[in-house]
Amino acid sequence: MGLAGQARGGGVMEPKEGLDRFAAFVERRLGLVPASASKEELAALLEELAPRRQWEDYLEKLESAPAGDAALRSLAERLTVGETYFFRHQAQLEALVEEVLPHVQREGRSARVLSAGCSTGEEAYSLAMLARESARVEPSRLFIKGVDLNPRAIERARWAHYSPWALRVTPEPLRERWFHALPGSEFALRPEVSDSVHFEERNLLDEDSGFWAPNSFDVVLFRNVLIYFSPEAARRAIARIEQALTPGGFLFLGPSETLRGLSDAFEVVQAGEAFYFQRGRGASSTARLRIVTPPPIPAAPTAAPAAKAVPPKPAEPLHKLEGAGRAWRLLEEERYAEARSLLETLPEHEREHSLSRLLQAALHLQAGLFREAERLGKALAESGAQGAAAHYLLGLCREQAGDTASARAFYERAVHLEPTFALGHLRLGMLARREGAPTHARVALRLALTLLAHEQPVHLMLFGGGFGRHGLMQVCQRELWACSEVA
């Protein structure tokens, strides 16, 4: 007898059946892997939305709900988490304004930009401000639209009032020019910026042939969104974006995100410290912007040489590294190019300190300079300095090169040297799941989820890819749900 038959007969839906059906709906309709650390938390959310005896009716209502339904919108509010602020990943925004938009606006064309998964609007407004600061962009021919699944986030974006925390990396001249202080502690965007961006509530997975029509957008910002999507939902979203972009149009993802396994229709473009993607053109197209292929990486051993492994040395506190401490602060503010430049000017004793070398290696990795990152990582690993972090960094380099066997060996060495290294367990779990070993994956991922609550801040700064502790826990949760599906 089916679930509906049980309900009509007066029975109560079994918890596992209800949770599985609820989770499957959330992924299918919203694209999200539920942001709950356990089945118990997901059950608590479902119980809050509908008492157990009403689960069947509630789930049936959700499954038949049209776009914009109140219950669906309420669920989206509960399950989506926005982590954003003004001028996040500023190098990418500057490349968009100084390279991409002038390229699009040539010969009098307008530029149409979509901020997909815009949250509370900081990304779209940051672009609008930078465009008004640039002599190379014509704001009158720049049209920016922001869309998000969360109705409350869209309301806040339209309201355009922000806390000091949202402006924490906003340059002071821009804060003074484009915001005015409100009584209390909030800041409001000036109308010339807030009126220049249009926001609408939209599920990126809903069918809408008009919105996603070919040639609808020249640029799509889809940064730090894939982390919340299931693999299938990510493929659907990227396919829809590809369809809507003009030939030769541009896609911006978060610095730690990739199109690997999602699409072969884009090539990597580099402008300074920023990397982004360009859609392939037709045969009659003009020449595209310079495409940069990462340099070849020397072969790495399949496992760290045991003879050279020594116990990790205790790290010197960051506050004792004066110049390097400033570089770490720049990293925390995602000002990667400035951090690299500052490191090069440090006195030799500070520059050669193991923490400074680790920071430099991580910045090389962030910029796509894999050969330099791997060279520094090998030197640190062989000396025993920053052992776990150095081996983890080498694993990232090998994974970027497609050498998953060596990557796994380096991650295993990292967690052997430091058993509480949450990020190492996370990468091992992700590799295991993708290689079809869900049992091994679940063990590693559950351990990672527990340890992430106590992961060292230095590891989060170096290897978090712009995401905080909570965002990385979301990644872990998504992977665990994917393992459950495989099983």
* Confidence bin at 23 (pLDDT 50/70/90): confident
Residues 471 and 351 in one domain: yes
The answer to whether residue 9 sits within a structural domain is yes
The answer to whether residue 313 sits within a structural domain is yes
Measured distance CA(252)–CA(485) in Å, rounded: 29
What total number of domains does the chain contain?
3
pLDDT, tens only, 306-317: 333 333 333 344
Residues 165 and 213 in one domain: yes
Residue 399 tokens, joined: 């994974």
Residue 80, amino acid: T
Residues 100 and 68 in one domain: no
> What is residue 381's predicted lDDT score, i.e. its pLDDT?
87
Contacts 24+ apart (CB under 8 A), 58-67: 59/18, 59/21, 59/22, 59/25, 60/4, 62/25, 62/29, 63/25, 63/29, 67/203, 67/206
Instruction: Work out the average pLDDT over 268-282.
Output: 82
Of 159, 243, 163, nearest in space to 199 by CA: 159
CB 13 within 8 A of CB 55: yes
CB 178 within 8 A of CB 109: no
Residues 270 and 379 in one domain: no
Residue after which a domain boundary falls, among 79, 108, 126: 79
pLDDT, tens only, 357-410: 888 888 888 777 788 889 998 998 888 767 888 899 999 989 888 888 999 999
Residues 358 and 443 in one domain: yes
DSSP assignment string, 270-326: EETTEEEEEE---TTPPPPPPB-PPPP-----SS--GGG--PPPPPPPGGG-HHHHH
The parent domain of residue 27 ranges over 3-79
Residues 104 and 220 in one domain: yes
The answer to whether residue 169 sits within a structural domain is yes
The answer to whether residue 382 sits within a structural domain is yes
Measured distance CA(342)–CA(5) in Å, rounded: 68
| Range scoring the smallest mean pLDDT among 130-139, 156-165, 271-280 | 271-280
> What is residue 252's predicted lDDT score, i.e. its pLDDT?
96
The answer to whether residue 295 sits within a structural domain is no
The total of other beta-carbon atoms located within 10 Å of residue 268's CB is: 15
Averaged confidence pLDDT in the chain: 80
Residue 104 tokens, joined: 């699009």
Residues 435 and 353 in one domain: yes
Residues 16 and 48 in one domain: yes
| Range scoring the smallest mean pLDDT among 37-41, 211-215, 238-242, 352-356 | 37-41
* Confidence bin at 291 (pLDDT 50/70/90): very low
* Confidence bin at 485 (pLDDT 50/70/90): low
Residues 137 and 44 in one domain: no
Instruction: Work out the average pLDDT over 40-62.
Output: 78
pLDDT, tens only, 133-143: 999 999 999 99
283 versus 409: the higher-pLDDT residue is: 409
| Range scoring the smallest mean pLDDT among 154-158, 172-176, 448-452 | 448-452
Q: Which CATH number does the domain housing residue 275 bear?
A: 3.40.50.150
* Confidence bin at 283 (pLDDT 50/70/90): very low
> What is residue 175's predicted lDDT score, i.e. its pLDDT?
94
The answer to whether residue 298 sits within a structural domain is no
Residues 369 and 441 in one domain: yes
Instruction: Work out the average pLDDT over 181-191.
Output: 90
CB 82 within 8 A of CB 165: no
* Confidence bin at 12 (pLDDT 50/70/90): low
Percent of the chain with pLDDT over 90: 32
Of 318, 315, 361, 355, nearest in space to 336 by CA: 361
The answer to whether residue 301 sits within a structural domain is no
CA dihedral 324, 326, 327, 329 (to 10 degrees): 130
Instruction: Work out the average pLDDT over 246-259.
Output: 88
